[in-house]
Amino acid sequence: MYRIVQQSLLARIQSILSARYEISLENLAVEQPPSIALGELALPIAFELAKRLRKAPRAIATELAEELSGQLPEGVASVEVAGAGYLNVRLDRGRIVREIARDRHADIGGEGFRLIEHTSINPNKAAHIGHLRNAILGDTFQRLLRKDDYKSGYEVGVQNYIDNTGVQVADVVVGLMHLEGKDLASTRQLLADLAERGERIDYYCWDLYAHVSQWYTADESQATERKHLRLATLHAIESGGNDIAKVADLIATAVLRRHLGTMQRLSIEYDFLPRESEILHLEFWDAARQLMIEKGVLYFETEGKNKGCWVMRRAGGEAVEGADEDAKVIVRSNGTVTYVGKDIAYHLWKFGLLPGRDFGYRRFHEYATHMCWISTASTSDPGHPAFGHADAIYNVIDSRQNDPQTQVVQALRGMGFISEADRYTHFSYEMVALTPRCALELGYTVSEEDQKRAYIEVSGRKGFGVKADDLLDRLITAARAEVDARHPDLAEGERETIARQIGVGALRYFMLRFTRNTVIAFDFRDALSFEGETGPYVQYAIVRAANIFRKAGTMAAASLAAFAELDLEGVLEGEEGNTVWETWLLVSRLTLLIEQSIATSEPAYLARYAFQLAQQFNNFYHRHHILNETDARRRTLYLATAAVAQREMIRALGYLGIEAPERM
């Protein structure tokens, strides 16, 4: 509701500005006065106009206030000038509160298909906490965009790119076939044995991958030969149609299924799993290469260090005489294409710009509400969707890939696909690292130099990190202990559900509370906390509201119905009324926060809002004891306050992918 008022207010001001001063401002800042006593909204426009109009800010503000007062926008009670020239706006509290109670709110959404890609873990080891940040960010953003009961939203597709033919998979295959002497049959047997013992292939590969990575360089006299083996294995996997490739596919698919399982524990689901094997076999690159040459972004280098390669000018690079030594190699002199080259082809496909190429689609994994498809080089299963027609894309990829991501955008731009390049968002985020203390706690040896650092980067190659499922298990176990202590009366299954909800809530919130370009220095002490700025804090506030309704023998809907008939005269004024009103005001901001989170690709804003809302509600909860309230009008008002606060806290958490438990 806040956003509706804000929009109508801004529209009015824009029209006044153009009518009276013949000025139009792109963005009008709207702030909050330092105290509710000064009003609900504050506009510093007069300062901005002072120079252009050559007038004192206060004089301008006074004129604007007069104009506005002549015809007040919806929900506005009064406008006044304050301070050096602020335009402070007071809202019609009764009217706003009524609208909030009946859940009137601005809509969010628009045209166009938005393709979000996240997770994209190499299918050669278990997911770790860094992958969790990626998946949780992507999944939360997807929820903000998608159509749901609350908003029109956008048409959204969620992809998880699977690099099933890369060196990381090759490394694990080398480990299986050369360190462990396995062939195709015994690899199959391994998978069967693990399944039988209830052990996990992704954990198995975690250790194996670390082992192989060491092995390559362990014996200097063998190093060249082993490097060679690694490359030969990679090439066999890329070509396909041999046992090595089959081993790779078995392992990659099995690990992928584990990843889907891990993510499903966190309510993270996908619509499509495009794989690199299909990008190779369907020859996406050949089509892209053709197009890039036609458009003049790809050229053959005939001199300098890149002689014999097909190269592309770097983003920000300038045309130079002779060899551009700084150019990015796209096709090596041996004719193979680099990572960035394949990525350009893939992104042309995303925008529907790759002529004559599309993935085949096969059913892979069925979720409760939809199918997850996987790419295939053969014919598609009936009823398949198509994803390669995005109007906007969001790639959730960590900031270490800023450079290659920029190259891909540069290629699109260079090819003249300007609007596509503009609607290409590298949803960049910083890594999750371990604090030295955490690393020591996990039993890793940490060099003295590393111990002095604020954090240490995780490394799959070294097997250094915290596995996603291990962390989640620890969180759920910790939550379970609390639930058991508090609710010994509840059934086993119910306690398990609540513990899971709390564990997931703590984890998802933890990954979302930091803005994207903050490195998370992971520490169990912080991550395992259920107090303060955490997911469980918000969940607990929701449970409190639910307890009130249960004890009062009523329900939120009924409380709001009763509220509709209530005489609001005086109850929203004064010191006491202010605190109640402030709760409603904060409650009304949800759409604004969703909109801001989308515009800035920053889910942390919404996470923070959810916490603030819970904080505000807890404050209200302690100040006004609802069930003891003897004044009937106040009691009705308080119950309605709890109802709307609970409603928006549940919604906000929902967008963060966090469930609200029945009890805690």
Partner RNA sequence: GAGCGAGUAGCUCAAUCGGAUAGAGCACGAGCCUUCUAAGCUCGGGGUUGCAGGUUCGAUCCCUGCCUCGCUCACCA
Q: Does 166 bind RNA (CB under 7 A)?
A: yes
User: Residue 372, exposed/middle/buried by CB under 10 A (0-12, 13-18, 19+)?
Assistant: middle
Contacts to RNA from residues 333-352, by CB under 7 A: 333-334, 336, 338-340
Backbone angles phi, psi at 431, to 5 degrees: -70, 165
Query: What is the per-residue burial (b if ≥16 Cβ within 10 Å, else e) of 581-612?
Result: bebbbbbbbbbbbbbebbeebbbbbbbbbbbb
Q: Residue 498 or residue 640: which is nearer to RNA going by CB? A: 498
DSSP 450-493: HHHSS-EE-BTTTTBS-BHHHHHHHHHHHHHHHHHHH-TTS-HH
Contacts to RNA from residues 509-528, by CB under 7 A: 513-515, 517-521, 526
Query: Taking phi first (over 0 means left), then psi (-120 to 50 degrees means alpha), and beta for anything else, what does residue 54 get?
Result: left
User: Residue 652, exposed/middle/buried by CB under 10 A (0-12, 13-18, 19+)?
Assistant: buried
Rule CB under 7 A: choose which of 267, 399, 497, 578 binds RNA. 399
Q: Which has the closest alpha carbon to 609: 578, 623, 588, 629?
A: 588
Closest distance to RNA from the beta carbon of 75 (Å): 18
Q: Residue 309 or residue 353: which is nearer to RNA going by CB? A: 309
Q: Tell me how far apart the alpha carbons of residues 385 and 371 are, in angstroms, rounded to a whole number.
A: 10
Contacts to RNA from residues 589-628, by CB under 7 A: 596, 600, 604-605, 608, 611, 615, 618-619, 621-622, 624-627
Q: Residue 158 or residue 521: which is nearer to RNA going by CB? A: 521
Closest distance to RNA from the beta carbon of 43 (Å): 8
Closest distance to RNA from the beta carbon of 594 (Å): 12
Q: Does 411 bind RNA (CB under 7 A)?
A: no
Q: Tell me how far apart the alpha carbons of residues 98 and 565 are, in angstroms, rounded to a whole number.
A: 10
Contacts to RNA from residues 526-555, by CB under 7 A: 526, 529-533, 536-537, 540, 543-544, 547-548, 551
Q: Tell me how far apart the alpha carbons of residues 495 and 503 are, in angstroms, rounded to a whole number.
A: 12
From 69-77, 416-424, 478-486, 560-568, span contacting RNA (CB under 7 A): 478-486
DSSP 543-562: HHHHHHHHHHT--HHHHHHH
Closest distance to RNA from the beta carbon of 182 (Å): 23
Contacts to RNA from residues 27-56, by CB under 7 A: 27-35, 38, 42, 44, 47-48, 50-51
Please, which residues have CB within 8 angstroms of residue 282's CB and are 6 or more apart in sequence?
357, 358, 359, 360, 377
Closest distance to RNA from the beta carbon of 120 (Å): 10
Closest distance to RNA from the beta carbon of 342 (Å): 7
Q: Does 197 bind RNA (CB under 7 A)?
A: no
Closest distance to RNA from the beta carbon of 629 (Å): 8
Closest distance to RNA from the beta carbon of 333 (Å): 3
Q: Residue 75 or residue 166: which is nearer to RNA going by CB? A: 166
Closest distance to RNA from the beta carbon of 657 (Å): 18
Q: Which has the closest alpha carbon to 590: 600, 598, 601?
A: 598
Q: Tell me how far apart the alpha carbons of residues 642 and 548 are, in angstroms, rounded to a whole number.
A: 8
Question: What tokens does 339 get?
Answer: 């990572």
Question: What tokens does 67 get?
Answer: 């104009």
495 sits in which H/E element: helix 492-512
Closest distance to RNA from the beta carbon of 627 (Å): 4
Q: Residue 365 or residue 474: which is nearer to RNA going by CB? A: 474
Contacts to RNA from residues 84-143, by CB under 7 A: 84, 86, 88, 122
Contacts to RNA from residues 434-463, by CB under 7 A: 453-454, 457
Contacts to RNA from residues 214-243, by CB under 7 A: none
Contacts to RNA from residues 263-322, by CB under 7 A: 276, 305-309
Q: Residue 145 or residue 312: which is nearer to RNA going by CB? A: 312
